Chain A
């Protein structure tokens, strides 16, 4: 069992997400940074999409009710286990009664706590992920609260692994996000597209798992035709009439009607999960072949690390 002593800002159960439900309006969901989640699971030799706790901006305090191993990847918090400092990116044995505390956030936005145990939860639409916008899946369809107890099965100790230093995740305060042209890119005036790539945007505090709202140079959408709504994929950079881009994210809507100027390549979408309010970001345009090549490269590295 795992008891929540303090919940943190938004701590929820997430896994690799659900597949095949977008035609009913249900986004894939799952970890906002699936790379960090998979690394955390790999350190415990879990299946890579095993459910984890996704910890956002302000971390929880947790008491463990059984002996098991844990691993934390992604955002860097000051971490303590029974008051002793511990680190990200390695398997850590914990005993029944141990107390894990997340202190101040040092980099990134979301950490993933993997457990060498199964959560006694029921999958909804084929996934343990919490759909926070709609309120289903995970633990009672919501973020964890003080006093919640997540039942665990098959708690076990595993021989902890450590991620090699070269692959410890560090997050730039101002990441460069690679994009390809969005579906409606050519409908925008050349000047609007230039301005988009020239602008350093800032992630707004209104961002969440549904969408990342950006603030920066407003883009002119004057003269763009009203669009007929169509399938919208995560990573799409939409420009609503106020000109401030919104990136569709892991719990994003499945159909949209705003013109899409760009699309964050799927290989870089995990970086979006580490943006916190006020973080700056720049967009860099690549072509489709490059996007696929980067995805192949990142997938190969992950495969090697998790072998």
Chain B
């Protein structure tokens, strides 16, 4: 896949590399491979002005220091980025990074879709015209592709939601939902790792901890991994939550 791309300014400290292609697995492979290639170049010290790389469905956002970019000299940053991407996308730099991108795993996530864990389930049923059991069946069916992490620490952006389950975001974001809440927003589904404000319709909750900075791997999955939801009832949920609560909490501070 060699999709055409454009660069767009994202505020005064970032550029977006935007690909003119439909979001999906092949485009995400291109974007993650490009991110990996840029990361390797950064590790080699080639891009001292770059601060962050944020992959998304259609864009790779590159945050930079405008002061360092200004000092980096001859060629403007966007021109150097353009050349790098053109080279990378035409596969000149991809072979060594594609392998990394291919080492994906399937992560199984238990979800309780019963009340009170899915406060917006009835709204989703009303909007889609489906029964609750059909919503659950359709939600648990696919292996979802992790396109990227973002929004809040450890949040996974998943692809593969059944079109029948699409639901608009809320008019006014909820100020707070419970950690582990599973939601649908537009054509997307996902799990809120923390108790945060949320614009999506919440249909269930997982007892798993998605983000734990003290864990060896703080994140439950990475880009290009797959996620499978498994429906559990309220008793199973409570048991899983309890066993998680009985695990000694990790050391938070060395003070």
Contacts and interface: CB of A to CB of B under 8 A. Distances in A.
A263 interface: yes
Contact of A23 (B16, B55, B58, B197): B55
A40 interface: no
Contact of A233 (B11, B155, B173): B11
Interface in A180-199: 180, 182-183
A263 B141 CA distance: 40
Contacts of B80: none
A228 B150 contact: no
B8 A22 contact: no
Interface string A2-42: 00000000000000000111111110100000000000000
A231 B56 contact: yes
A133 interface: yes
Contact of A139 (B53, B172, B253): B253
Interface residues of B, number: 56
Contacts of B188: 229
Nearest to A122: B254
Contact of A22 (B54, B59, B197): B54
Contacts of B149: 23-25
A288 B55 CA distance: 24
Nearest to A300: B67
Contact of A240 (B11, B58, B199, B253): B199
B63 interface: yes
A103 interface: no
Contacts of A229: 56-57, 150-151, 157, 188
Contacts of B206: none
A144 to B, nearest CB: 12
Contacts of A296: 67, 70
B149 to A, nearest CB: 5
A24 B154 contact: yes
Contacts of B63: 22, 231, 233
Contacts of B165: none
B172 A253 contact: no
B94 interface: no
Interface string A194-221: 0000000000001000110000000000
Given A26-B153, A253-B150, A291-B12, A121 B213 contact: no
A131 B196 CA distance: 13
Nearest to A148: B255
Given A124-B213, A125-B213, A180-B12, A254 B151 contact: yes
Nearest to B222: A24
Specify which of B169, B185, B197, B254 lies most central, judged by the most chain A CB atoms within 10 Å of its CB: B197
Contacts of A228: 23, 56-58
B151 A121 contact: no
Which applies to chain A's interface (DSSP): helix, strand, loop or mixed?
loop
Given A121-B253, A206-B175, A25 B151 contact: yes
Nearest to B219: A24
B150 A226 contact: no
B9 interface: yes
Given A133-B194, A183-B16, A263 B11 contact: yes
Contacts of A183: 8-11, 16
A240 B198 CA distance: 12
Interface string B191-204: 00110110100000
Contact of B10 (A25, A231, A241, A292): A231
Nearest to B50: A20
14 contacts: A23-B149, A24-B153, A25-B155, A25-B193, A125-B213, A133-B194, A135-B194, A183-B9, A183-B10, A228-B58, A231-B54, A233-B10, A235-B11, A240-B172
Given A121-B253, A139-B253, A230-B61, 20 more contacts: A21-B52, A24-B149, A25-B150, A122-B253, A125-B213, A136-B213, A140-B255, A226-B186, A229-B56, A229-B151, A230-B58, A231-B60, A231-B61, A235-B12, A242-B171, A254-B150, A256-B151, A263-B10, A266-B13, A299-B67
Task: List the 10 shortest-distance A-B pairs measured between CB atoms, nearest first.
Answer: A231-B61, A255-B150, A231-B54, A263-B11, A291-B12, A230-B56, A22-B52, A136-B213, A254-B150, A253-B151
